[in-house]
A and B are shown apart, each in its own frame.
Chain A
Amino acid sequence: MINVFERLNDGKYTIYFGPAHPGSGNFGVKLEVDGECVISARADPGFLHRGFEKLMEYRIPIQNAVLSDRICILESLAWNLVHAEAVDELMGIDVPERARYIRVVLAELSRIQSHLIWFGVISAGTGFDTGFKIAFGLRDYILDIFEMVTGGRVYPAGYICPGGVRRDFPRGAKERIMRVISKICVDEDTTVLEKLENKVLKDRLEGVGVLSAREAIKLGATGPVLRGSGIKADVRRDDPYEVYECFEFEIPTMNEGDAYARYCVGIEEIKESAKIVRQALKMMPDGDYIAPQFRKPKLHVKIPEGEVYVRNEVARGEGCVYMVSDGGDKPYRVKIRGPSFLHMIPVLEHLLCGAEIADVPAIYWSLNVCPADMDR
């Protein structure tokens, strides 16, 4: 009898992390566990698939700009920018200098608020609720700026559109952005979040989910995950777009490759983004905010025949758009490459093997993932 019991109850079973888990988002992982230890993990994506790539083939670029908000809900302006750049390059639009600066300011603010969410969810995932609440409180100040500039808090509705931006900076926006930045970064080298750092959070993250540089490259990691493994790669520096070559900023890297290293890279990036925003606001020239031919939205604007591949550094990694046009007013094919796809499937599956069940949320959220951008 005892033999039968031992044979049937060998301690191995399957548990699901998500999609109905409070800390997983619209995404699931099937974990094979032996006692407390995860033997293997299988990602279970597809709960948030909305078919943007196909939808974009049926819409004109300005409508696609509105659609591109939804690719990643947590950083909609960054995806607006990737889409707008692809159309700009395909159509050969000369974007005014002021628009380029506005785009950079908003993309960096979007990165800061996305990293604040990241900090918040790491805190919540490891049971540090104070951090979660303070981070989301700070994010709200940035959403107030978005509301003032774009007219919507989370969805800017294609604010960064082909040709420039949809409307100019309102009066008083610059001062307000400076005020909010100084609320988050108390001075050049410290953010409010660093003051919250504590031993419990550090103990939960240190040595957990170690990703070596070699594995990171092999599995296709980009952005903060790759930089947390010690590789200095950033599209803003390696292949500058918009006006990033004018700014001075560092690319933070950590060599440890664990969850704590990625967390630290995130905090450092908030400071660097704040630096860029300050410089951009100082250097922002006067002038037009959109190319004159796009001031009023138009139907039936032909996109010249050709194809283009644009890559940007969004908060989560490398966000790319491949767009093909056959000379009509709608793109023939749009392929979106989101950073979370590779972080959530190969990288996560690799990191979860051999981890403890209690570390699963810490590993999962340390990758700064977004199910919306993975499923598209």
Chain B
Amino acid sequence: MKMGVLAEVFGNMFAKPMTVRFPKEAIPIPDGYRGEHEFNIDLCISCGLCSKICPNRAIDMVEAPEEYREKYPKRYPRIDLGKCCFCALCQDICPKGAIKMTKNVFLSTFDPKSVIKEPIK
């Protein structure tokens, strides 16, 4: 029998572990990661391109809440993270850069309502 397996096993006994102790430390997420969206309503021109290109139809164009309607009279994207496949096409097509993908990946929740991102919270 070749000694390869044993050498590999013993080598790994003294090697640094591949994993990290998660809550205390985490592997850094690189730039350009496709995580949760960040929507800047002041940049939005309500063109609706994001809602048209979304392959999963996760984006609806909705009106702002009553109290903000004077300042934001048009329709703005409401993103349903439950339907989203994180393809970043909405970020790429946005002519004003109003939608950006962040590095936030901690999206699991028990509250189904919290997966819907309203344009104004």
A residues whose Cβ falls under 8 Å from a Cβ of B: 59, 62-63, 66-67, 130, 134, 137, 140, 147-148, 151-152, 155, 157-158, 166-167, 170, 192, 194-199, 296-299
Contact = CB atoms under 8 A, between A and B. Distances in A.
Contact of A197 (B4, B31, B53): B4
Interface stretch (B62-70, B86-94, B106-114): B86-94
B18 interface: yes
Given A147-B29, A157-B34, 7 more contacts: A63-B55, A66-B89, A147-B33, A151-B88, A158-B89, A197-B2, A198-B2
A134 B53 contact: no
A195 B7 contact: yes
A59 B49 CA distance: 15
16 contacts: A63-B55, A66-B55, A66-B89, A67-B55, A147-B33, A157-B89, A167-B32, A170-B32, A192-B8, A195-B5, A195-B7, A196-B8, A297-B53, A297-B93, A299-B49, A299-B53
B96 to A, nearest CB: 12
Please give me the 5 A-B residue pairs with the lowest Cβ-Cβ distance, nearest first: A195-B4, A157-B87, A63-B55, A151-B34, A66-B87
B20 interface: no
Contact of A63 (B8, B31, B34, B53): B53
B26 interface: no
Contacts of B52: 299
Interface in B1-17: 1-2, 4-5, 7-9, 12
Contact of B30 (A134, A137, A148, A196): A148
A170 B55 CA distance: 26
A194 B2 CA distance: 10
B55 A59 contact: yes
Nearest to A152: B34
Contacts of A140: 18
A198 B5 contact: yes
A151 B29 CA distance: 9
A287 to B, nearest CB: 20
Contacts of B1: 198-199
B92 A296 contact: yes
B30 A147 contact: yes
A35 B34 CA distance: 53
A88 to B, nearest CB: 19
Interface string B64-88: 0000000000000000000001111
A147 B89 CA distance: 17
A298 B101 CA distance: 19
A62 B9 CA distance: 46
A196 B18 contact: no
A196 B92 contact: no
A59 to B, nearest CB: 6
Contacts of A198: 1-2, 4-5
Interface in B30-48: 30-34
Contacts of B29: 147
Nearest to A67: B55
A137 B19 CA distance: 10
B30 A166 contact: no
Nearest to A153: B33
Contacts of B101: 151
A298 B89 CA distance: 10
B91 to A, nearest CB: 10
Nearest to A136: B18
A130 B8 contact: yes
